[in-house]
Amino acid sequence: MEYLETDHVRPSADGESVIYLDQSLLPGMEEWKKCSEIREMYDAIKRLEVRGAPCIGIFAGYCMAVRAALLAKKEGNAAGLLSELKKEAEYLNSSRPTAVNLSYVIGLMISRAENALAGDGSISPKNLSELLMKEAERVHLEDIDMCAKIAENGLSLIEDGYGILTHCNAGPLATSRLGTALGPILLGKSRGMEFHVYADETRPLLQGARLTSYELSKAGVDVTLICDNMAASIMKQGRIQACFVGCDRVAANGDTANKIGTLGVAVMAKHFGIPFYVLGPKSSIDISCGSGADIVIEERSPEEVKLGYFSKPSAPGSVRCYNPSFDVTDHELITAIITDGGILRPPFHQSIGSLFNE
């Protein structure tokens, strides 16, 4: 399949490792890495070499399939394989807490294996691992399809010539193909539309500067990089007609966890009367979370803030530093949540409820 040759997360031809583009080195270096050991897989997620909620999910699917293929060589029966795989799944799931896609896909993979075993107790370890590889490929293909639908839905809300502000990176690198927040922009561009995108640099790990401006420039989209603290001024100047951001986990009431700084963008957008849109697949909605208060926010090392991408430390080594990686945007600040299943409007507890009851 064509996507397996081109995508930035994919299994190796022998199915015994996962190949990925190391996003932590972009845009300076395009380095491809390979991992087979569960520890390497955990580290790839933890270090943001593989990042962006849907991309982490796709990667986790292939990791589980690869681990199953390798365990199949050692385990005498499928039940033994599944028991080992469950331990590894738990470990991988602990690498990052906020994006729901990681636990969602790991859960799918384990259920698929449990169902197969329940249906055929004598299934061989090799057959079980092959079945898991098919499931990981299905998750990957499904993401491509969901992104295409999100892009169409999002494009229906914007017009040629719009100025659009985005935060962090929710483009192809964070997913599979079109991305979520960048999907409508890339789709519109492919249809001859022009947008003026302002990319927040997104301190401290600069996903906006390193990844969004890199992806959009490559696609020929008019993109201007700004520091995070410039967004209000750009909005006040009338340059922004819509804000598009991705999501890591959406609660049942519409509260949305996304990269730290997203809440600030939403507050500013409200102040200036600019629509603020969250874009993500239905699978990013976690209806087991009643509100944003139930979402676990990852806290990362202070060194990312104090050293980060500076050539010299930007703060005294001893200064106390708080580095939450995500924040929660209150649902009252969100104009609409654009999913593959349609455009959800407030009241979100109702529109989200209907989406899950379809």
254 binds ligand MRU (CB under 6 A): no
Instruction: Return the structure tokens found at 247.
Output: 């999501």
- The partner residues of 214 in beta bridges, in order of sequence, read none
258 binds ligand MRU (CB under 6 A): yes
Single out the residue of 309, 255, 279 nearest to residue 98, CA to CA.
255
Stretch that binds ligand MRU, among 167-175, 218-226, 327-335, 342-350 (CB under 6 A): 167-175
CA 194 from chain centre, in angstroms, equals: 25
The footprint of ligand MRU on this chain (CB under 6 A) covers a number of residues equal to: 18
The verdict on whether 143 is a catalytic residue reads: no
Which member of 26, 53, 123, 251 binds ligand MRU (CB under 6 A)? Answer: 53
- The partner residues of 168 in beta bridges, in order of sequence, read none
249 binds ligand MRU (CB under 6 A): no
Residue 144 in 3-state DSSP?
helix
For ligand MRU, the closer of residues 81 and 247 by Cβ is 247
Report the C-alpha gap between 173 and 21 in whole angstroms. Answer: 9
Count Cβ neighbours within 10 Å for each residue of 65-97 and write b for 16 or more, e otherwise.
bbbbbbbbeebeebeebbebbeebbeebbebbb
Q: Residues 143, 248, 255, 286: which is the catalytic one?
A: 248
- Backbone angle region of 202, left / alpha / beta, with phi > 0 → left and psi within -120 to 50 → alpha: left
Map residues 281-320 to x or -, x wherever contact with ligand MRU holds by CB under 6 A: ----------------------------------------
CA 253 from chain centre, in angstroms, equals: 20
246 binds ligand MRU (CB under 6 A): yes
Q: Which residue type does 48 have?
A: L
Which member of 64, 85, 139, 174 binds ligand MRU (CB under 6 A)? Answer: 174
CB of 59 to ligand MRU, least distance (A): 11
For ligand MRU, the closer of residues 258 and 323 by Cβ is 258
Report the C-alpha gap between 255 and 305 in whole angstroms. Answer: 26
Residue 324 in 3-state DSSP?
strand
Window 142-161: residues binding ligand MRU (CB under 6 A): none
Q: Which residue type does 211 have?
A: L
Pairing of strands 18-21, 9-11: antiparallel
Map residues 205-224 to x or -, x wherever contact with ligand MRU holds by CB under 6 A: --x-----------------
CB of 101 to ligand MRU, least distance (A): 8
CB of 22 to ligand MRU, least distance (A): 13
Dihedral sign (CA 35, 38, 40, 45): positive
Active site positions, annotated: 248
Residues that bind ligand MRU (CB under 6 A): 48, 51-54, 99, 168, 170, 174-175, 180, 207, 246-248, 258-259, 325
